[in-house]
Structure 1
Amino acid sequence: MVDFSNAYTYAVGALLCWGVWGIAAKYSVERLDNMSVLLVTYVVGIGLVLALDPTSPLDVTFDSGLAFSALAGLSMSLGSVMFYRALDLGQLSGVTAIPALYFVVAFVYGVVVLGEPTNPSQIGGIGLACVAVLLLVQ
C-alpha cells in the first residue's frame, strides 16, 4: 500500500513525473518551437492545478510569501526556457541530467544559509551525484 502521508512518496512521484516531462519535452521541441512548447506546458499546468482543487479560494496576501512565490515562478519559468532550449540543442540523456542536480543548490543553501545539519554521507552523496552527472554527459 502506498503511504500518501510520507514526503518521500510524493518525492518519488515528482521524480517519475519530471522524468516523463523531460521525455515529452524532447519530443515537443522537435515538433514545435520552444516558446510554443513552454506556453502549452504552463497553460496545461495551470489547468491541472485549478482542476485538482477547483473550490479552493486563492489566499494571496501582499507579503513575503507572495514575493517568494513570484521568485519561485520566475526562476522556474526561466529554468524551463533554458531547459527546452538545451533539449532542442542537445541529447535527452545528457541534457536532463544537468538540471536534475538542482537539489545541490538547495542542499548548499540549506546547510550554509539555513544552518541545517549535515553528515559525511550526505556530503559524499552530493559528490557522487555530481560525478554521476559528469559521467553521463561525457
Structure 2
Amino acid sequence: MNTERLAFLENIEADLTARKPSEPSSRPTPAGKSRKLLRKLGMFGFMLAAAASFSVLNSTAANATPYCGIPNPIPRSHTKSCGLNFYSHDFIYSYPSGPGGLKECYVFWSTLHDFGCGADPGRETRICK
C-alpha cells in the first residue's frame, strides 16, 4: 500500500511540475525589454521616495539645528536664518585670548526673532577662533 501511495503522489507531482505547451501560464512573464522597463520604473520610484524622505528630514533638521544661534567668528553684526526664525548677532567687542593672544574672541548680543511667538530678550554670546 505504501508503494501505491508513493506512485500516486509522484504522478500528481509530475503532472503539476510539467506544463503542457497548449496551456497558458497562470502568470505571464514580461519580455526582456518589459523587465528592464519595470526595473527602471521601480528604481525611479525608489529614488523618488528616498528624495522625498530626505528632503523632509533635511527641512526639519534645518529648523532644529543649534548652529543658527551660534554667531560666525567675524567682527561685524550679522543674521542667520533658521526656517521661519532668524537670529540677529550684534557685534559688541573683541579681545585676544589664549597663550600669547593667539586666539581672537568675539562677543555678540544674540537675539532670536521668531515669527509667531515673538522674540527672546537676547543673550551675550562669545566665540573664539
TM-score by length of 1: 0.21
Considering only CA atoms, is the larger Rg found in Structure 1 or Structure 2?
A: 2
Higher strand share: 2
TM-score by length of 2: 0.22
Higher RCO (CA-CA < 8 Å; seq separation 6+): 1
Q: Which structure has the highest helix share of the two? A: 1
